[in-house]
Amino acid sequence: MTLLSGCTTYQAKPLNDYISLPQALTQLKGGDKQSVSSSVDLDVYQVAAIALLNNRDLNIKRAQLHVNEAQLVSAKLFADPQLSANFDQPTSNAPGIVNAWGIGLSYDVMSLITHSSQVKSVKYQVQQAKLDMEWQEWQVVQQARILFLKSLSEQQQLNLLASSLKLYQERYQRSEKAMNQGNATLETVSTDLTSLVDLTSQVNQLSQTHSETQQALSELMGLDSRVIVNLKPSGLPSEIDKQDIETALTNLPKNRPDLLALKAGYESQEMKVHQAVLNQFPSINIGFNHASDTGSVVTNGLSMSINLPIFNGNKGVIAQERATREQLRLEYKNRLSQSANQVNNLIEKRHSLNMHLDSLNLYLPKLKTLVNQATPAYNNGDLDALVYINLENSWIQKQLERLNVQEQISLNAIALDTLLAIPFKSASGENK
């Protein structure tokens, strides 16, 4: 009863089938202050901080970490000794025969030998789990930055298209009215209508994409995906110079959480290999016995059992653990090589994007000048409608292209930050 008093009791914890999705920022962790209330536009730092605290996948990862920590507590505990007892009742009626009994206490000595390597292995597993969680937190922050940037960029494109759409609608109404009065040709009206329909379709497609981006951002922050989060423009990601990239790439194995997690996993596997090697030696079980036979002779004795490693010798387990260690070594090496290639690819892409943006910045003003010069001629009927519409449409599409290229440059910078493990700093200088 004394031993049982120290046992943990069982308490049921049934699942809750009620679906509860936060409808406002004030229902989230970090969302109870006026600075992040529902009426205030959030900057990218606030969005990242709220996502970090409330992302549902991260909360599951944090719960998994508790499981790993509990496994470490279990690994630190030593094996319990074994208590044995026996009772023999004679079936014959010979004189002087009494009931025989015995009691013994034994312990597996091998568990003491392998205990240290087992604890070290689980410690590295816990370290790996913590680093994996840190890497996932890193990913959530970067994803919040990406969705924030895409949402603002899409809104800029929609604003541009909305302004053009209004002009197209007014122009079509004027040309239709003029045609009814006999002052415009069917060619002009059909060209205006075609341009209006095409632009309307483009607005609808972009609106759908923007809605999906907003839903993804809300869900990432732990909100109901139907909730629209108000955003305000923040500083764009800054480009990293080549020297800083080289330095960050050199220091990558010491800084990036996923690589550190792989290292911890490798060290844990090293301990498993060590433990497997120790387990090839004979397992020894030592015990103490106190017994009384049917002749009422009481004896004390020692017992020892040892397995003979003739056929098995734990060779299969050793081979398996060593093969797993080699697999982890190659996986780590591959992740390093893959990261270097990804960084180089992003640098090349950044160069191409910058050249593309420079080209657009050079020729867009000239295209705008042509549109301004062509507008009066078109309105006076001195310029073919199709020529003018194509010119104006090129002006609109090239502006959209510039916004898209600017977005891609910023996304490229975020990707480099992620790969190179460069901290995302808030306005106060705090690392994210």
Q: For the segment 388-411, what is each residue's pLDDT rounded down to a tens digit?
A: 888 888 999 999 999 999 999 999
The span from the CA of 314 to the CA of 318, in Å, is: 6
**Residue 372 belongs to domain spanning:** 29-89+96-419
Q: How far apart are CA 131 and CA 136, in angstroms?
A: 9
CATH of the domain at 303: 1.20.1600.10
pTM of the full predicted structure? 0.83
The answer to whether position 299 is within a domain reads: yes
275 is a domain residue: yes
Q: Is residue 160 part of a domain?
A: yes
Residues 312-354 pLDDT 10s: 888 888 999 999 999 999 999 999 999 999 999 999 999 999 9
Question: Could you give the number of structural domains in the chain?
Answer: 1
First-residue to last-residue Cα distance in the chain: 52
Q: Tokens for 125? A: 């597993």
- What is the rounded distance in angstroms from the CA atom of residue 140 to the CA atom of residue 216? 12
Q: What is the pLDDT of residues 161-202, one digit of tens each?
A: 998 898 889 888 988 888 888 877 788 788 888 888 999 999
Whether 11 maps to a domain, the answer reads no
In-domain check, residue 18: no
Is residue 24 assigned to a domain? no
Asked if residue 429 belongs to a domain, the reply is: no
Helices vs strands, H then E, count in the chain: 9, 4
Summarised one tens digit per residue, pLDDT across range 60-80 is: 999 999 999 998 999 898 888
